[in-house]
Copies of this chain bind each other. A is one copy, B any other.
Amino acid sequence: MVIVRHEANKVYAKVVEANGVVTTAGIIPSDLSRDAKGQTAEVLAEIDRLLALCGTNKSRITSASIWLNDIRHREAMNEVWIDWVGGEANAPVRACVEAKLVDPRMLVEIQVIAVK
């Protein structure tokens, strides 16, 4: 089984492919001045970019994991999420829980698994 690692450094790869399954890292925002909606939008745009690197896209996501540094950001995140997913024909399974992230100003982290 061939493994393809994209944008890897010594700590982690941004996205990995193996056997037709594409897994992103837990993607975090870089602009920490934005609110939960803005940070979610940045993270989802980065996920779009990473899936495209692997020749797949958001309509092929099977599973998503979402961590919020405060579960009360769920509604704001969901607004952006629902628009991005684009309808029930694309909806993955999802788990969304609260967790402290690397920096207290980081409000959201998202990881997805897609197939090609």
Pick from B65, B85, B101: contact of A71, CB under 8 Å: B101
Known A25-B95, A71-B100, A98-B99; contact A88-B10, beta-carbon cutoff 8 A: yes
Q: Does A116 contact B (CB under 8 A)?
A: yes
Known A23-B63, A25-B94; contact A81-B116, beta-carbon cutoff 8 A: no
Q: Does A39 contact B (CB under 8 A)?
A: no
Contact A93 B24 (CB under 8 A): yes
Query: A9 to nearest B CB, angstroms?
Result: 5
In angstroms, Cα B102 to Cα A20, docked, is: 33
Contact B93 A25 (CB under 8 A): yes
Pick from B11, B62, B65: contact of A81, CB under 8 Å: B11
Contact A13 B93 (CB under 8 A): yes
Contact A26 B97 (CB under 8 A): yes
In the assembled complex, 7 residue pairs joining A and B whose CB atoms fall closer than 8 Å, in A order, are: A1-B20, A10-B88, A14-B93, A18-B62, A23-B113, A25-B95, A71-B102
Contact A101 B97 (CB under 8 A): yes
